[in-house]
Amino acid sequence: MLQIEGMYPPQITAMLDLAESYVLLNRSGKTQRDLLRGRTLINLFFEDSTRTRTSFELAGKRLGADVVNMGVSTSSVNKGETLLDTAGTLNAMQTDLLVIRHGESGAANLLAQKVDAAVINAGDGTHEHPTQALLDALTIRRRRGRLEALTVAICGDVLHSRVARSNIHLLTTMGARVRVVGPPTLMPSEVARLGVEVFHDMKRGLADVDIVMMLRLQRERMTRGLVPSEREYFRFFGLDAEKLRHAKPDALVMHPGPMNRGVEIDSAVADDPARSLIREQVEMGVAVRMAVLDILSRRARRND
Ligand code: NCD
């Protein structure tokens, strides 16, 4: 599971349908610990994470896998070991499932060529974050019953966002209309080629949309000043009740987290239970990751 780009609609639908069954299982408080019994899942995180790492851990445990978390601060990566040496070590330990987050775009693909384990990309640089797009799609589909023909505005720091890229691929593949909204300095130059409409003004970009997906301003990936002050950014591109009024009256608000409150989103909107799906996204994250582990381990089982 390296990227959404290249996936076909039936594959995405099958993944979401299976995840849907895991939502019900999780809500019932049951587990299915036989499914991955005896399997080893390693969480290899070279970048910070709260939601993604924890939800992969929970997903693995609920399906009965042995889960090991490897944080970079405690690994030999700090002693200068390369990604591929680390991969070789993990391979020798007979890992079945490897979840990797890394600052370099392409790191997950590289690793997948070097290890026997099934590799899941939990975010590689500014490239893709496929399980995030799947959980976002599941969240939307459960609320709206479909993805097709919905209009989704992805707003903010699109340039640095792997979440935006994976969502653009998934939503356009599934027949949604996608807009990207943000300042020109935070838009990839060729973004229109991905089949989206580009806006530099929130009022126009949000007009009549069904879903408003906000992105974090990713300062850690900015090598130069691409935005003015945070106050000014909020004034033009931060989502508040006033700007949200331009969307459909029942438009729903999403954010992958972590949020910068008062920078890209106002707390009153983020915490409004009638409009915000942010909590639900986190719940869907566990179910989607269970579905992904389930499907990938079926393949691994066939190779036994
Ligand atoms: C995102 C990420 O790491 O790409 N977070 C997440 O996985 N929920 C988005 C972000 O960091 O802004």
pLDDT tens figures, 156-208: 999 999 999 999 999 999 999 999 999 999 999 999 999 999 999 999 999 99
- Mean predicted confidence (pLDDT) in 278-291: 98
Q: Take atom 7 of ligand 1 and give the residue whose Cα is closest.
A: 52
Of 39, 53, 62, 101, the active-site residue reads 101
Ligand 1, atom nearest to 215 Cα: 12
pLDDT (0 to 100) of residue 62? 97
- Mean predicted confidence (pLDDT) in 211-216: 98
Residue 298 has pLDDT above 70, yes or no: yes
Q: pLDDT-based confidence at 234, cuts 50/70/90?
A: very high
pLDDT digits (tens, 9 = 90+) for 100-153: 999 999 999 999 998 999 999 999 999 999 999 999 999 999 999 999 999 999
76 alpha carbon to ligand 1 midpoint, in Å? Answer: 25
Q: Take atom 3 of ligand 1 and give the residue whose Cα is closest.
A: 123
Question: Does any ligand 1 atom lie closer than 6 A to the CB of residue 123?
Answer: yes
Question: Does any ligand 1 atom lie closer than 6 A to the CB of residue 160?
Answer: no
Q: Measured at the alpha carbon of residue 192, what is the angle toward residues 186 and 196, in degrees to the nearest 5?
A: 100
**What b/e readout covers 8-24, taking b as 16+ CB neighbours within 10 angstroms?**
eeeebeebbebbbebbe
Q: pLDDT-based confidence at 225, cuts 50/70/90?
A: confident
61 included as an active-site residue: no
First to last CA, the chain: 20
- Mean predicted confidence (pLDDT) in 265-279: 98
Question: Does any ligand 1 atom lie closer than 6 A to the CB of residue 101?
Answer: no
pLDDT (0 to 100) of residue 70? 86
Q: Name which residue leads in pLDDT, 11 or 226.
A: 11
Closest CA to 77 of 116, 103, 58, 41: 103
Q: Choose the residue to mutate in 43, 52, 121, 254 for probing ligand 1, maximizing ligand atoms within 8 Å of C-beta.
A: 52
Of 31, 51, 177, 221, the active-site residue reads 51
Q: Measured at the alpha carbon of residue 127, what is the angle toward residues 117 and 189, in degrees to the nearest 5?
A: 165
301 alpha carbon to ligand 1 midpoint, in Å? Answer: 31
Q: How many residues does the chain have?
A: 304
Closest CA to 155 of 283, 258, 253: 253
Q: pLDDT-based confidence at 300, cuts 50/70/90?
A: low
Average pLDDT over the chain, rounded to whole?
Answer: 94
Q: pLDDT-based confidence at 270, cuts 50/70/90?
A: very high
